[in-house]
Structure 1
Amino acid sequence: MKKQLTFLLFITVFALKSAFAQEIPKELENIISPEINKDGTVTFRFLAPKADSVQLTSDFLPPVKVKTRFGLQDGPGTINLTKDKNGLWTYTSKPLESELYSYAFMVDGVRTNDPNSPYALRNSAALTNVFIVGNGRADLYKTNDTPHGTVTHCWYPSAGLKMNRRLTIYTPAGYEQSTDKYPVLYLLHGAGGDEDSWSAHGRAIQIMDNLIAQGKAKPMIVVMPNGNVVQDGGYGQGKDGFYKPEFLLPRSMNGEYEANFMDIVNYVEKIFRVKADKQNRAIAGLSMGGFHTMHVSRYFPNTFDYVGLFSAALMPREDATGKVYSNIDATLKTQKDNGLKLYYITIGKDDFLYQNNVDFRKKLDELGMKYEYLETGEGHIWKLWRIYLADFAPKLFK
């Protein structure tokens, strides 16, 4: 009798465990989100049994108009996830083109990141998850099995800004083993960013490694400075520690940065093995960094042979009253007369800065200054700036 009871108890426990296992699927123990499927679709999952709604917001969804300080702009769209009986919400996209995408969830109207993915990037004060769909353009943004360069963080002395300031610097594969000297690209970030923006959002390290390995770009050093003159280092990296990021910090576009830019160049040319002449220097930047690029390159008009303006913020500014911003036409003419290998301008047709760039090109036309122009679709987004860098870098130092 005792043996029968033990057997019945075993059967009961086994049955309960089996029933429980059927109610709680194994996938809940290890939720994969996002999951890149073989057909190019992407599946997102979020466990929230008590939530009434879960939505996905991402830049691969049809955009919606959002109000910003610059007027209406395109923002990421949203779509509803579907809830199963276990409280697991899911959504599978259509096949996506090869790209790096960002996304977040909205749970009962509250924005949250994906608890199942640690891959997230900060832009200003917002943290957003990211994923890559390969087999195309975004393979350039991956860490592939190629020779890799080195990324270092250096602190340069700026006498004009009265502080030591942090730089992110990429040296190409083989730099440490050689005695060669290299050309230099100075690559500037936009508002809300810092010296880590191009290496994080811009995937500049992967882009340069892959272009160089493919023989499409010459080996070069890439210097990524901090364009916010009130900071010694980016958020969480400087003396002020952890504090809430701002979109546009004070004094970032008042001329101080441009006037003291040669502190960066002089440091780089002292510490690194570089070809320290005009034909081996390039400067480029996005948005605010494009504004800085335009002004730095004409304020020091015999310094850079290659200039790149990516969605440049070329609108007039009330605080642009210093010496750096005087005699713009005259200094542009001097820059032209000194000779340039490449003056490159590119922007999306839906960018809120589009008309400012049209007006600037008219100015260059009136001055007889030659430039290369690339117009794309879409607006003011990192997707385009990665494309622009990948197009610009192979044109350098030819």
Structure 2
Amino acid sequence: MKKVLTLFIALLVSTIAFAQQSLWGGGTLVSPEIHENNTVTFRFRAPKAIKVQVTGDFLSNPSVADLKEGPEGVWEYTTPEPLAPELYNYSFIVDGLKMPDPSNIYLIRDVSSLMNVFISGGGRADLYKVNAVPHGTVSRLWYDSPTLGTTRRMTVYTPAGYEKSGKRYPVFYLLHGMGGDEEAWVTLGRATQILDNLIAEGKAKPMIVVMTNGNAALEAAPGESSLGLVPPTTKLPKTMEGSFEAAFPDVVKFIDANYRTVKNKSGRAIAGLSMGGYHSLHISKQYPDLFDYVGLYSAAIWPGKDVESPVYKDMEKKLSVQFAKKPALYWIAIGKTDFLYKANTDYRKLLDDNHYPYTYYETDGGHIWRNWRIYLSEFVPMLFK
């Protein structure tokens, strides 16, 4: 009996100790450690591991680096050069198994992938930080879409002071890419930090930003709808076949009815990345009186050969109507190695051949969030001037 009692007490003590550890934090291993010169050290404790590597977008070629084992089974890798200012993602690979950094609680989901993140500060990357400036409000709310016959969720940013100002604000509709949702621009895109900082610096006008779910068959982001805890995927129905574009006026009507907006073309902008750029292109030409500012970030351009929708018919005719109404800004941006570069080049030729004015912005790199954060920070200051 005494042995049983002793074992019970030992288990109870260990459970309490574990609970306290969970409550007050775990070990003291620092990873990543960002040094003053912007080199970064990654650490992982794995005494029995044979091989530990780190992978992430801070690496180029090769895209994986080996950690070296040190005392007490702590593996370590320090970047040989300082990292340029940016928000970076990374993961560890331990004996062939990819996993997050247990010493870094900051994780972001990109479709079905979880990645740790850190910010190497300075320059443009300071826009991605939460700085000591007035902050806007981020709301998740539901709206009725009569066109789609369902209730759907969106994310809305209102600038600092909106609640008490009594003023009307222009609205920027910001759309995500394939596999994304209404959370993507807030998490991966750092949109709220970029808006807060640009507005506080006087580089952008205070505006409402509406981030919708561009997957017309879904109510909301994975795990946030009546479907339950379904696995995220890029293979979704009703994404680029016209449904979302046809239903977009439902979003505009809801925002105009529930927020203090500037209810005309000069007070509206639309932009998006990849699939969201595709949506922005086709929504803006389908409804040429809705948006005075259009941004295409690494945009898909042409509908699939088997896609049949009134939204995509008579594309050149609709573009002629749109540009005859003289949008204040038509902005196209893409990376030099983006797989959609040729499609964008062909589309720009179509615009050039018809003498339609636009602004073009090109960066290094490909189809990556690093570019899309840059594009957002460049595009926002040009709006509503």
Normalising by structure 1, we get a TM-score of 0.89
- 5+ residue gaps, structure 2: 1-25
Q: Residue 245 of structure 1: which of 232, 244, 248 is its match? A: 232
Task: Tell me the residue number matched to 2:75.
Answer: 89
Matched-pair contact (CA < 8 Å) for 2:154–2:211 = yes
Taking the aligned partners of 1:116 and 1:169, their CA distance within structure 2 comes to: 32
**Post-superposition CA distance 1:208-254 (Å, at most 9, x none):** 00000000000000000000011101111111121111113111110
Task: Tell me the residue number matched to 2:217.
Answer: 230
Q: Residue 139 of structure 1: which of 126, 136, 140 is its match? A: 126
Query: SS of 1:176's equivalent?
Result: helix
Q: Are residues 1:291 and 2:278 paired?
A: yes
Task: Tell me the residue number matched to 1:48.
Answer: 46
Taking the aligned partners of 2:352 and 2:300, their CA distance within structure 1 comes to: 19
Question: 1:86: how far off?
Answer: 1.4
**Post-superposition CA distance 1:108-166 (Å, at most 9, x none):** 11100111111011111110110001122111000000000000011110011111100
Q: How does 1:1-398 map to 2 (within 5 A)?
A: 29-63=27-61, 77-93=63-79, 94-398=81-385
Taking the aligned partners of 1:396 and 1:360, their CA distance within structure 2 comes to: 23
State the superposition RMSD in angstroms. 1.0
Taking the aligned partners of 2:264 and 2:192, their CA distance within structure 1 comes to: 24
Taking the aligned partners of 2:303 and 2:95, their CA distance within structure 1 comes to: 41
Taking the aligned partners of 2:168 and 2:226, their CA distance within structure 1 comes to: 33
Matched-pair contact (CA < 8 Å) for 1:254–1:319 = no
Matched-pair contact (CA < 8 Å) for 1:188–1:290 = yes
Matched-pair contact (CA < 8 Å) for 1:226–1:233 = yes
**Post-superposition CA distance 1:272-320 (Å, at most 9, x none):** 0000000010000000000000000000011100000000011441343
Question: 1:169: how far off?
Answer: 0.2
Taking the aligned partners of 1:118 and 1:376, their CA distance within structure 2 comes to: 31
Question: 1:63: how far off?
Answer: 4.0
**Post-superposition CA distance 1:32-73 (Å, at most 9, x none):** 111111111111100111110000001111146xxxxxxxxx
Query: SS of 1:391's equivalent?
Result: helix
- 5+ residue gaps, structure 1: 1-27, 65-76
What percent of counterpart residues are identical? Answer: 52
Taking the aligned partners of 1:302 and 1:176, their CA distance within structure 2 comes to: 28
Matched-pair contact (CA < 8 Å) for 1:309–1:345 = yes
Taking the aligned partners of 2:106 and 2:175, their CA distance within structure 1 comes to: 24
Normalising by structure 2, we get a TM-score of 0.92
Taking the aligned partners of 1:250 and 1:232, their CA distance within structure 2 comes to: 12
How many pairs were matched up?
359
Taking the aligned partners of 1:334 and 1:39, their CA distance within structure 2 comes to: 53
Taking the aligned partners of 1:305 and 1:313, their CA distance within structure 2 comes to: 21
Question: 1:386: how far off?
Answer: 0.3
Matched-pair contact (CA < 8 Å) for 1:255–1:324 = yes
Question: 1:388: how far off?
Answer: 0.3
Runs of 4 or more above 6 Å deviation = none
Higher gyration radius (CA) = 1
Query: SS of 1:314's equivalent?
Result: coil
